């Protein structure tokens, strides 16, 4: 009898101990799960690279390279480290830094990187140690090709509906300027032949060519983007699909429709649903990175379709609402946040930053309407990961070294503060710079990164 009681107590003790341990873990770690979303080349990788370098240099510098990160003053930070997340690739920080040192931009992201940025803070004194146990602030970041993100809205569509909407998008400017080859191909295509691997492969290749051409011309509404940056999990050769003209798609018994419908469902199940589940539903904070320079360098129609791309994404957010945006109620209340970030702000003269910020707000107005319904907190930011430009001879001038090594000066006319203010016939070419020689110093002149992080952790 007493042996049984002893055993019982022991088990109870262990239970209490482990409970206390997990409580301890809960209180002493402050985890921010941040997902960074942005189309490819929007500046995600450069942002991480600079953030990491600034944080790790910060404590050794007499000045403060992130002075507006007031919740985490530099005296308080003991260490900064990059930690792998099990089963995911670690962000190639060293490789990126090396590339920059050799005056090349980092390679663009073609796979998913997952990692934790762990900031350990010093306990100030015994009392504050007792009061505020949290001494680790952890950011879980995920970086992945932006093309995959824009596919998420496909999760809520059937093949036919998707095909029809893809088709109608291609008939509007700016897409239609780049779709003529593809349209001509479909126009004369003989759908009476039964689809086989070769025919489907050829059909898909034609569509892929259109996507590649459109992407190179600044189009962001490209579905399926996964066709451009294939995932290891989905076999396009075997299970591919592409939009069908509505005369074919409207016939539910047509062999092409049947095949593509089946492949489309497979794509959703094998690739999209797990993607959404594993990366997008865990996050409690989100950074949406946007490269407006691209759109500005093309036309107003391009910016409009960027706005539409963003707006479409909201449906994926709404879908994930239960898991994504609802606060985790156990022990800590947390309001979810979204930061809309326009990157590479060093490419716009200081005098035009205000207009640029307003333009950003116009572009996000569609998606924000969705977020407001979900009571999600959001704010807009302008950042640059590196100050590649210098002030020029006038207020609206900027100087920079172009990829050929020549030092140029550009004088900008006023940047429009909303889409309507931009003449459809006009555009603003985007500055393309060489990586400067003094990379380190210019990273230390990055803009807005401290404001952004401060917003996320407060």
Ligand X SMILES: Nc1nc2c(ncn2[C@@H]2O[C@H](COP(=O)(O)OP(=O)(O)O)[C@@H](O)[C@H]2O)c(=O)[nH]1
Q: Which is nearer to another protein, 364 or 388 (CB)?
A: 388
CA distance 65 to 288: 23
Neighbours of 78 (CB within 10 A): 13
Does residue 204 interact with another protein by CB under 8 A? no
**The three-state (H, E, C) secondary structure of 234-296, written as one string:** CCHHHHCCCCCCHHHHCCCCCHHHHHHHHHHHHHHHHHHHHHHHHHHCCCCEEEEEECHHHHH
332 SS3 class: coil
Choose the one of another protein, ligand X, Mg ion, none that binds residue 386, judging by a C-beta under 5 to 8 angstroms depending on kind. Answer: ligand X
Choose the one of ligand X, another protein, Mg ion, none that binds residue 106, judging by a C-beta under 5 to 8 angstroms depending on kind. Answer: ligand X
Does residue 359 interact with ligand X by CB under 6 A? no
Choose the one of another protein, Mg ion, ligand X, none that binds residue 43, judging by a C-beta under 5 to 8 angstroms depending on kind. Answer: ligand X
Does residue 299 interact with Mg ion by CB under 5 A? no
Does residue 106 interact with ligand X by CB under 6 A? yes
Choose the one of another protein, Mg ion, ligand X, none that binds residue 42, judging by a C-beta under 5 to 8 angstroms depending on kind. Answer: ligand X
DSSP 269: I
Q: Which of 49, 50, 65, 109 binds Mg ion (CB under 5 A)?
A: 109
Q: Which of 228, 409, 418, 457 binds another protein (CB under 8 A)?
A: 409
Does residue 251 interact with another protein by CB under 8 A? no
Choose the one of ligand X, another protein, Mg ion, none that binds residue 120, judging by a C-beta under 5 to 8 angstroms depending on kind. Answer: none
Does residue 46 interact with ligand X by CB under 6 A? yes
Query: What are the beta bridge partners of residue 119?
Result: 80, 137
**Alpha helix stretches (DSSP H) within 60-196:** 93-101, 126-131, 146-149, 159-170, 180-187
CB of 190 to ligand X, least distance (A): 39
Residue at token pair 């919740």:
71
Does residue 62 interact with another protein by CB under 8 A? yes
Does residue 45 interact with Mg ion by CB under 5 A? yes
Length of the chain counted residue by residue = 458
Measured in whole angstroms, how far is the alpha carbon of residue 265 from the centre of its chain?
A: 25
Q: Which is nearer to ligand X, 109 or 276 (CB)?
A: 109
Give per-residue burial for 82-115: e unless 16+ CB within 10 Å, then b: beeeeeeeebbbeebbebbeeeebbeebeebbbb
CB of 435 to ligand X, least distance (A): 8
On whether the CB atoms of residues 152 and 276 are closer than 8 A, the answer is yes
Does residue 390 interact with another protein by CB under 8 A? yes
CB of 358 to Mg ion, least distance (A): 27
Q: Which is nearer to another protein, 150 or 389 (CB)?
A: 389
Choose the one of ligand X, another protein, Mg ion, none that binds residue 91, judging by a C-beta under 5 to 8 angstroms depending on kind. Answer: none
Does residue 311 interact with ligand X by CB under 6 A? no
On whether the CB atoms of residues 383 and 47 are closer than 8 A, the answer is yes
CB of 64 to another protein, least distance (A): 4
Q: At what angle do helices 300-319 and 365-373 cross, to 10 degrees?
A: 20
CA distance 425 to 301: 10
CA distance 288 to 372: 16
Q: At what angle do helices 197-216 and 180-187 cross, to 10 degrees?
A: 160
Q: Which of 276, 384, 401, 444 binds ligand X (CB under 6 A)?
A: 384
Choose the one of Mg ion, ligand X, another protein, none that binds residue 408, judging by a C-beta under 5 to 8 angstroms depending on kind. Answer: another protein
Q: Which of 109, 220, 304, 311 binds ligand X (CB under 6 A)?
A: 109
The window from 104-112, 131-139, 298-306, 448-456 that contacts ligand X (CB under 6 A) reads: 104-112
CA distance 365 to 419: 11
On whether the CB atoms of residues 313 and 273 are closer than 8 A, the answer is no
Does residue 385 interact with ligand X by CB under 6 A? yes
Q: Which of 299, 305, 311, 352 binds another protein (CB under 8 A)?
A: 299
CB of 412 to ligand X, least distance (A): 15
Cβ-based burial of 5 (10 A; exposed 0-12, middle 13-18, buried ≥19): exposed
On whether the CB atoms of residues 122 and 139 are closer than 8 A, the answer is no
Give per-residue burial for 332-351: e unless 16+ CB within 10 Å, then b: eeeebbbbbbbbbbbbbbee
Does residue 238 interact with another protein by CB under 8 A? no
Q: List contacts with ligand X (CB under 6 A).
A: 38, 40-46, 105-106, 108-109, 343-344, 346-347, 384-386, 388, 433
Residues forming contacts to another protein in the complex (CB under 8 A) are 60-65, 67-68, 70, 73, 174, 177-178, 180-181, 213, 217, 298-299, 345, 350, 353, 387, 390-391, 399-401, 406-413, 423, 425-429, 436-438, 440-442, 444-445, 447-448
């Amino acid at each position: 009898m007493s042996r049984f009681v002893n055993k019982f107590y022991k088990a109870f003790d262990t239970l209490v101990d482990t409970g206390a341990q997990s409580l301890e873990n809960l209180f002493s770690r402050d985890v921010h799960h941040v997902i960074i979303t942005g189309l490819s080349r929007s500046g995600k990788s450069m942002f991480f690279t600079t953030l990491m370098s600034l944080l790790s240099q910060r404590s050794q510098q007499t000045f403060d390279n992130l002075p507006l990160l007031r919740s985490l003053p530099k005296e308080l930070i003991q260490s900064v480290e990059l930690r792998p997340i099990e089963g995911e690739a670690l962000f190639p920080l060293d490789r990126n830094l090396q590339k920059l040192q050799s005056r090349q931009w980092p390679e663009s992201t073609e796979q998913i990187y997952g990692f934790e940025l762990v900031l350990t803070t010093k306990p100030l004194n015994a009392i504050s140690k007792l009061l505020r146990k949290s001494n680790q602030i952890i950011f879980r970041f995920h970086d992945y090709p932006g093309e995959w993100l824009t596919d998420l809205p496909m999760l809520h569509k059937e093949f036919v509906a998707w095909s029809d909407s893809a088709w109608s998008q291609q008939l509007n400017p700016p897409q239609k300027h780049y779709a003529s080859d593809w349209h001509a191909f479909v126009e004369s295509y003989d759908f009476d032949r039964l689809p086989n691997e070769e025919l489907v492969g050829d059909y898909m290749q034609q569509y892929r060519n259109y996507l590649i051409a459109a992407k190179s011309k600044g189009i962001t509404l490209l579905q399926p983007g996964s066709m451009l940056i294939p995932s290891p999990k989905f076999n396009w050769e075997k299970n591919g699909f592409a939009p069908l003209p509505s005369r074919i798609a409207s016939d539910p018994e047509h062999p092409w429709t049947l095949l593509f419908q089946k492949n489309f469902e497979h794509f959703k199940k094998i690739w999209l649903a797990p993607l959404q589940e594993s990366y997008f539903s865990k996050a409690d904070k989100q950074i949406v990175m946007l490269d407006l320079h691209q759109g500005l360098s093309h036309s107003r129609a391009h910016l409009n379709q960027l706005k539409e791309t963003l707006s479409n994404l909201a449906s994926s957010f709404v879908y994930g609402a239960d898991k994504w945006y609802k606060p985790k109620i156990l022990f800590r209340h947390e309001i979810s946040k979204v930061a809309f970030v326009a990157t590479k702000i060093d490419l716009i003269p200081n005098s035009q930053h205000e207009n640029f910020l307003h333009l950003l707000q116009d572009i996000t107005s569609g998606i924000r309407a969705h977020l407001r319904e979900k009571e999600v907190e959001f704010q807009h930011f302008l950042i640059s990961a590196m100050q590649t430009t210098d002030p020029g001879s006038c207020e609206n001038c900027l100087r920079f070294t172009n990829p050929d090594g020549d030092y140029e000066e550009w004088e900008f006319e006023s940047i429009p503060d909303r889409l309507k203010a931009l003449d459809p016939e006009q555009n603003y070419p985007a500055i393309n710079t060489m990586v400067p020689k003094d990379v380190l110093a210019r990273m230390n002149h990055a803009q807005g990164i401290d404001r952004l992080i401060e917003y996320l952790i407060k």
